[in-house]
């Protein structure tokens, strides 16, 4: 009897030992794969975060892998030597799914790094700035993803309502500035709560989304729109998303005042005076800024940039045919626009660096394939030096040579500038943040 028990215990021990060995070997192999991916990311310049990104507390992390599975962008996170780690950090879009998925709260969302600071306005957990009555939601506050922006726009209005709105028919209760994802959600929430409000948009309904090329696919996730309900969208075209927003607004008899640019917001006797470029002078108790960080395109400051053939966004690529086009930039917008234009035009893509380092994996694959098939000409290490009526001139970083190219159209995607002066004039403080942990808003 004793011998039989000893044999059974021995077998159980061996089986357990074998399982542990297999498990450890699996972890080791998985770590090797992650190490290899990190090495590739470093080589390709994708290992450094460029926007909102997760930071993992390895002392708390239990290597459940929930964060890895939750990330919609793939290969942003991995498990290395028993803990979570960033891989292709540059591709992180600040989705925040990893933060919500972690069972032990080992992840915090951070913007900026120890070396690279990001200018951010001062915003409380209720979305209110240091100026009482002025709120910020969406990309301007550091959260740019559509789903996050929608949630913030909704919650900002909820917080304004909780703060209490004095009824006074001589002024608006709330003026919402910007009709992108955050502004549209805020507009619907304001209607839901019966506020006397007005929404102003300097361009067209949709904000930054409207400026996406027509064929661009918007990556988003299920979100709750006030007065509309839950919207389940994943791979959705710009046209479909704008159509949904238009439907939600029209069903609730809401009109956005488009092509109305706000010049200044001045605190005055317990309310705010909002003036527009079109000459409007409006009074309101509360202001919600739902504008983007890139409302003003960054200019290159080169001769000829004021030419009519120069643009900073691509709206109707299908209407541009048989043209000599140069696209300037190395981000997703530049790459996507160049690929779309290359279908019917002769396109040169000029980028000042020696490789693309901040584009999504799908765009990296597409541009690499286009280069291999010679569908467009990518000129790395070049800068647009000047623009003439029928030509453009590029300079090379290494040799300093000048290259003349025949040209009809110029598209510049050099990012945008934070509306610092506009915010500071309203009294909103801006600070450069290094490795700043985003607060949990409510």
pLDDT at 149 (0 to 100)? 86
pLDDT at 436 (0 to 100)? 75
What is the CATH topology of the domain spanning 34-111?
Alpha-Beta Plaits (3.30.70)
Phi–psi pair at 320, nearest 5 degrees: -105, 115
How many whole angstroms separate alpha carbon 111 and alpha carbon 79?
22
Residue at token pair 């993992």: 56
Residue at token pair 């304004």: 160
pLDDT at 234 (0 to 100)? 67
- State in Å, rounded, how far the first CA of the chain is from the last one: 65
The ranges of the chain annotated as CATH 3.30.70.20 are: 34-111
Q: What is the DSSP letter of 90?
A: G
pLDDT at 208 (0 to 100)? 72
Q: What is the DSSP letter of 177?
A: E
pLDDT at 435 (0 to 100)? 74
Q: What crossing angle do the helices spanning 332-341 and 361-372 adopt, rounded to 10°?
A: 40
The pLDDT profile of the chain, 442 residues, written as one tens digit per residue, is 566 666 666 666 666 766 777 666 666 766 777 778 878 877 776 777 777 788 888 888 888 888 888 887 777 888 877 778 888 877 776 667 788 888 888 888 887 777 777 778 888 888 999 999 999 998 877 766 788 888 899 999 999 999 888 877 778 999 999 998 899 999 999 999 999 999 999 888 877 776 666 656 665 567 888 998 888 776 677 778 888 889 999 999 999 999 899 999 999 888 999 999 888 899 999 999 998 776 577 888 899 998 889 988 887 788 899 999 999 999 888 999 999 999 999 999 999 988 887 787 788 889 999 999 999 999 999 999 999 999 999 998 766 688 899 999 999 998 777 788 888 888 999 888 787 777 655 5
Q: Is 19 left (phi over 0), alpha (psi -120 to 50) or beta?
A: alpha
pLDDT at 102 (0 to 100)? 87
pLDDT at 239 (0 to 100)? 79
Q: What is the DSSP letter of 289?
A: E
Q: Which CATH superfamily is domain 299-414 in?
A: FAD/NAD(P)-binding domain (3.50.50.60)
The ranges of the chain annotated as CATH 3.50.50.60 are: 119-296+418-437, 299-414
Q: Does domain 119-296+418-437 have CATH number 3.50.50.60?
A: yes
Residues contacting residue 374 through CB under 8 Å, at least 6 positions apart: none
pLDDT at 1 (0 to 100)? 59
pTM: 0.74
Map residue 99 onto helix, strand or coil. helix
Element (H, E) at 98: helix 97-101
CA R_g for the chain: 26
């Amino acid at each position: 009897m004793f011998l039989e028990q000893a044999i059974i215990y021995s077998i159980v021990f061996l089986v357990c030992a074998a399982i542990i060995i297999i498990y450890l070997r699996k972890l080791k192999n998985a770590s090797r794969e992650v190490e290899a991916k990190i090495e590739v990311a470093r080589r390709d310049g994708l290992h450094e975060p460029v926007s909102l990104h997760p930071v993992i507390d390895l002392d708390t992390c239990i290597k459940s892998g929930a964060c890895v599975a939750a990330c919609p962008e793939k290969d942003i996170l991995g498990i290395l030597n028993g803990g979570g780690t960033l891989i292709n950090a540059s591709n992180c879009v600040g989705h925040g799914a990893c933060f919500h998925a972690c069972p032990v709260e080992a992840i915090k969302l951070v913007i900026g790094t120890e070396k690279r600071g990001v200018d951010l306005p001062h915003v409380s957990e209720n979305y209110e700035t240091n100026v009482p009555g002025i709120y910020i939601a969406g990309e301007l506050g550091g959260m740019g993803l559509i789903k996050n922006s929608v949630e913030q726009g909704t919650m900002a209005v909820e917080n304004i309502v909780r703060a209490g709105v004095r009824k006074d028919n001589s002024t608006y209760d709330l003026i919402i500035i910007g009709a992108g994802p955050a502004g549209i959600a805020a507009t619907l929430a304001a209607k839901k709560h019966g506020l006397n409000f007005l929404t102003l948009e300097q361009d067209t309904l949709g904000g930054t989304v409207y400026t996406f090329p027509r064929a661009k696919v918007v990556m988003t996730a299920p979100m709750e729109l006030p007065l509309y309900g839950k919207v389940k969208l994943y791979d959705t075209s710009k046209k479909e998303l704008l159509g949904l927003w238009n439907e939600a607004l029209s069903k609730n008899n809401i009109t956005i005042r488009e092509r109305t640019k706000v010049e200044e917001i001045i605190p005055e006797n317990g309310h705010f005076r909002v003036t527009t470029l079109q000459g409007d002078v409006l009074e309101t108790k509360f202001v919600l800024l739902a504008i983007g960080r890139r409302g003003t395109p960054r200019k290159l400051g080169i001769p000829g940039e004021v030419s009519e053939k120069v643009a900073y966004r691509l709206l109707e690529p299908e209407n541009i045919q048989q043209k000599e086009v140069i696209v300037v930039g190395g981000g997703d917008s530049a790459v996507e626009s160049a690929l779309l234009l290359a279908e019917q035009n002769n396109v040169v893509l000029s980028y000042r660096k020696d490789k693309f380092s901040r584009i999504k994996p799908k765009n990296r694959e597409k541009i690499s394939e286009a280069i291999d098939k010679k569908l467009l000409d990518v000129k790395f290490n070049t800068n647009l030096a000047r623009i003439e009526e029928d030509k453009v001139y590029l300079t090379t970083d290494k040799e300093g040579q000048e290259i003349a190219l025949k040209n009809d159209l110029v598209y510049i995607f050099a990012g945008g500038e934070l509306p610092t002066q506009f915010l500071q004039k309203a009294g909103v403080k801006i600070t450069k943040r290094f490795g700043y942990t985003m607060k949990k808003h409510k």
